[in-house]
Amino acid sequence: MFSKFSLGTAAGLAALLFFAAPSQASVIYSYTGGTSFYGAPITISFTAAGPLTGLSAGTDISGSISGFTFNVGIPPSDNLGFPLGVNSLSSPVVQVGTDSVGNITSWNISESVFASYPAVPGEDPNDFFCTYQAAASNGGDSYTITQDHDAGLCPGTVAGVAGTWTPTFASTEPAPEPMTLSLFGAGLAIAGFSSRRARKAKQV
């Protein structure tokens, strides 16, 4: 039978173990596409408050992440050789599904690409332009033309293979931290010592 002292000590150590446990850290998810589009694969990065666990496929996470970046190559010239002018990416879509430990298992992430190919320097970028949807998904990456406003000279749609995500999380529970094990062992030792003292006190 534990004494009040030993029970109090055990409770105190339990609280110490709780506060000594490392707090959940933010996670930077990074993606590198499996196919190069116009000189570069699709690369994606964003920060989550912690591992994204147990999300059903198609979950929109736009409002719960920060630092989102999406990069991809843009055709450096149109099919007649006019060089790339004004260009931009916009309208991101960020949908994922994850497993129980936070690995991204399905994804549909895309941005719209605007690329202007002026015939003369200083020309209005809206005179000759192409728009695309650059997308990364678990079914494969793609670069799809959505509007040809360049007299039919926009480089066409291309498709490729899916890329990979980091980090990857193990499917088993992590081993206890060495500090946690030491504190737990010390707690058991103190509790046992206190119990023996209580029994000896009763025998006197």
User: Could you tell me if residue 172 is inside a domain?
Assistant: no
What pLDDT does 54 receive?
97
Residues 113 and 78 in one domain: yes
What pLDDT does 19 receive?
45
What pLDDT does 171 receive?
76
For residue 143, the enclosing domain spans: 27-166
User: Could you tell me if residue 143 is inside a domain?
Assistant: yes
What pLDDT does 172 receive?
57
The pTM for the full model equals 0.74
Positions in the chain short of pLDDT 70 = 1-24, 172-204
Name the strands in the sheet holding 158-159, side by side, starting at the edge strand that comes first in the sequence: 59-60, 87-98, 104-116, 129-137, 142-149, 158-159
Q: CB-based contacts of 75: which residues, under 8 Å, 6+ apart? A: 38, 84, 115, 130, 154, 155
Residues 130 and 50 in one domain: yes
